[in-house]
């Protein structure tokens, strides 16, 4: 999973305008890797939420910082799946604060992490090996994964 060896790797600077660029890439990649159009659309949403969170929360709106997206077909416990890794160079992020809120209260905000967890089969935030940023690893199975209900 080291940088530079993914099947597809995108690096963009943290401009909100480039979210659309990443979405176009992810949508086509997801379909080429076997997702139907509807599932590809959900995967796109999850990646978009993850990147927007890096821009807003990680980089505090700075527009010249790097974000990497790596996409690879993998086996997840024997099942065909696709792995999406989002990586940043954000310093000092408190991983414990990255969590979804209960949805019973209707208020703006606090939906992104929920969406990511709902769409993906596996979601794992960790500090980058070199300590200089956050790596979000998301896995979506081609079949059978489905969107899960309930908080994870």
- Contact residues: other proteins, CB under 8 A: 15-17, 19-20, 23, 31-34, 38, 41-42, 45, 48-49, 52, 55-56, 103, 106-109, 111-112, 114-115, 118-119, 147
Measured over the CA atoms of residue 52, residue 144, residue 35 and residue 7, the dihedral's sign is positive
Quickly list DSSP for 47-68: HHHHHHHIIIIISTT-SS-EEE
Q: Which of 54, 66, 67, 73 is nearest to 6 (CA)?
A: 73
Q: Of 87-126, which residues contact ligand ADP (CB under 6 A)?
A: 90, 93, 97-98, 100, 109-114
Residue 38's binding partner, choosing from its own copies, ligand ADP, other proteins, none, with beta-carbon cut-off 5 to 8 A by kind? Answer: other proteins
Determine the residue with CB nearest ligand ADP: 112
Q: Which of 77, 54, 72 is nearest to 135 (CA)?
A: 54
The smaller minimum CB distance to other proteins, of residues 2 and 149, is found at: 149
Residue 9's binding partner, choosing from other proteins, ligand ADP, its own copies, none, with beta-carbon cut-off 5 to 8 A by kind? Answer: its own copies
Q: CA 41 from chain center: how many Å?
A: 13
At residue 31, the 3 state secondary structure works out as helix
The smaller minimum CB distance to its own copies, of residues 90 and 123, is found at: 90
């Amino acid at each position: 999973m080291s940088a530079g060896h993914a099947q597809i790797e995108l690096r963009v600077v943290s401009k909100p305008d480039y979210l659309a660029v990443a979405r176009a890439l992810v949508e086509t990649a997801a379909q080429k890797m076997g997702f139907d159009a509807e599932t590809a659309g959900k995967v796109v949403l999850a990646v978009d939420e993850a990147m927007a969170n890096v821009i807003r929360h990680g980089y505090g709106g700075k527009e010249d910082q790097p974000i990497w997206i790596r996409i690879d077909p993998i086996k997840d416990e024997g099942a065909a799946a696709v792995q999406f890794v989002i990586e940043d160079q954000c310093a000092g992020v408190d991983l414990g604060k990255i969590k979804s809120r209960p949805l019973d209260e209707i208020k703006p905000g606090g939906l992104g992490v929920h969406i990511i967890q709902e769409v993906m089969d596996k979601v794992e935030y960790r500090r980058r090996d070199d300590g200089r940023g956050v790596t979000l690893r998301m896995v979506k199975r081609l079949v059978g994964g489905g969107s899960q209900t309930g908080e994870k």
